Structure 1
């Protein structure tokens, strides 16, 4: 039996991880979970999975969960705040941590998990985007495996298996293109939040859905891929693949290309990460190739969706520039979701922040500097982006 914690259990990846546990025939045991304010969902999870530890980021929500546990005679340790997340991530009893919280909040507990020598099933993009060098060094030092949960990185991970990493020539990251694929800038002037949230292929959370619409999601994945697979940015290519059947590909030095294909179901990469190096029985539908009429591929339009280009630039600059990119994006997306800025202002805000804070890039890459700069950038966006 493998024991695990889930950081961000009530989100999209967290809930799909629960489904993988349900179908594991008792081979996966849930020990700890975290959430923000979703008390009812946590209560349901407590009743079904009986975790020993729960952490709520919101202290009032933690009090409500404690009250439920007391009333129902549940012997569960209920924690709150970042300290709670850190403990759930580093419990002695667990083997692996699923990091599925959204945003910078995932970095510190991931580092705590690595220090505690826990394997990481990584679904939190920001961890490697802002601190890839630091995280990968720490993982190597602690002999910890970083197992990608993103469908694209899982595909690359699987396509590399059994091959010499030194024979890698190019990583090909596929992208659905989001809800506005093919549209020009003039057509995106008055985009509404509800339109940007309508992803054509995947059911995702609000923030990642907007990132997909701007292609920032793919840009963040480019930076992740650089750190996960030690691949130069010039050897990472983004390819728009609207059908989302080919999840990503690897080209080798001899010109051979190996791809991983599968259904549009995040339970597949989640299951693979949790059970690595084994493959388990089906948790999702298989592909019927008789019903697939065609697979198409396109070059991304970085003139219209410049967040992707900005991500490549930030990654190549390195240092703290990806922190600036990510912080500006998180703040701008939040403003858009709250209808305070327009859709096309998101990449413009990011580009402005990369210029304003470029002198900060060469500071030492450590946890304190990352957290401090992230806050500074977000404060700047909030105070300057809204007219």
Structure 2
């Protein structure tokens, strides 16, 4: 293993991991630990799991640790001190934003789930950082705003979810719209989730435990439910539109249950490039941390003979209408994606709590999209206001359900 810094780096890459205690944070730390001379975790941030954050600090010894809940500051500070660590303690979203934008890091892994990750992602973009983007909501809520701010500051966005990272690798950049790129269409692949092949009627009685049991990926409960409803893929369609400058009419979805082909790009000359690999987030994180150089991720190569076959099918928009709703919101533009995302977050939370059924999730999202007016999406305040209105409308609708 080389101890030399990565190309274009004066020293080791200094990485802030926002969402360090989650599955993406764990994978990022695994990759970083394999390259001690090339990169190090300088900032670790988490939501409210103080004990897990302190344990990570013991292992990785960052310069800074931050907890989003200000009420937990003393526990974090005292825990770090008791562990004999020199790591500085911080608390609150403003502190996390400042760390993402400041001198403590040159690279930010944006893996805070939900709208809570938006402000720190924007802060990193405005500071011109290399942004390893795993927070879908930053692009769904504020794709126009984020890409504009990143371009103005010279920030480098490298998507970390497997589908967009695959497209990034096929294009060798994020820009599919420049003259000469020759992109005809982008094809996002979807595993189909745990309920692939089931009819709408068969989905009526599924439980939260069944919905979070993803057949291929290890993810948090919210993202797992989004995969089960295909909302995850709908959000990725919106993301791809913003990331790669491609209109929705040139973005398609293919269900691919093996999850080995992570996405494809079709070009005007008839060529189609695909990126394949085992379903492991460490690959995409290694791409983001090392790009344009390839670095060891700890993931084995793909044995196609052992896998045997690759299957593809069209998504069932009747059984899984969330994908159709996401396309609808993308085409409407403005605040519509923010409304979609917020309604979905509230509905998924209610489903995980056992307050609503699985099929109520798309129904509640459609209710919010049909109830609320769409506004311009040119400021963060406007987007957050649309987000708040959607949450209120959806919460009210849930409260009125007979079994809520």
TM-score interval (norm. to shorter): over 0.9
Describe how 1:155-174 pairs up with structure 2 within 5 A: 155-161=166-172, 166-174=181-189
* RMSD of aligned Cα (Å): 1.3
2:113 aligned to which of 102, 114, 134: 102
Task: Using the TM superposition, give the Cα deviation of residue 71 of structure 1 relative to its aligned residue in structure 2, in angstroms.
Answer: 2.6
Q: Could you tell me which residue of structure 1 aligns to residue 93 of structure 2?
A: 82
State the match for 2:9 in structure 1: none
State whether structure 2 residue 296 is matched by structure 1 residue 281.
Answer: yes
Q: Does 1:256 align with 2:267?
A: no
Alignment of 1:326 onto 2:341: yes
2: CA distance, partners of 1:207 / 1:26: 35
**What is the aligned counterpart of 1:353 among 368, 374, 386?**
368
TM-superposition CA deviations, 1:59-85 (whole Å, max 9, x none) = 233221101123344332211121122
Counterpart secondary structure, 2:263: strand
CA contact (8 A) 1:34 1:88 kept: no
Q: Alignment length, in residue pairs?
A: 385
TM-score using structure 1 length:
0.97
Would you say the 8 A contact 1:54–1:88 is kept in 2? no
Whether the 8 Å CA contact 1:240–1:300 is kept in 2: the answer is yes
- Where structure 2 has 5 or more consecutive residues not aligned to the other structure, the ranges are 1-11
Q: Is the 8 A contact 2:189 2:254 kept in 1?
A: yes
Cα distance 1:72–1:196, how it changes in 2: closer, same or farther (>3 A)?
closer
Counterpart of 1:298 in structure 2 is 313
Alignment equivalent of 2:215, drawn from 181, 189, 200: 200
CA drift of 1:242 comes to 0.3
- Structure 1, unmatched stretches of 5+, are none
Report deviation, 1:40: 1.6
Alignment of 1:54-93 (within 5 A): 54-93=65-104
- Residues 177 and 242 in structure 1, CA contact (< 8 A), matched pair in contact too: yes
**Could you tell me whether the CA contact under 8 Å between 1:33 and 1:88 is conserved in 2?**
no
Partner Cα distance (2:180, 2:205) in 1:
45
Corresponding position of 2:230: 215
> Does the Cα contact within 8 Å between 2:213 and 2:224 map onto a contact in 1?
yes
1:19 is aligned to 2:34: no
Give distance in 2, aligned partners of 1:262 and 1:21: 20
Residue in 2 aligned with 1:374?
387
Asked whether the 8 Å contact 2:364–2:397 carries over to 1, the reply is no
Equivalent position SS for 2:239:
helix
> Which residue number corresponds to residue 63 of structure 2?
52
Given the alignment of the two structures, is residue 7 of structure 1 paired with residue 22 of structure 2, yes or no?
Answer: no
Deviations 1:288-329 (A, max 9, x none): 122121100000001110000000110011000000000000
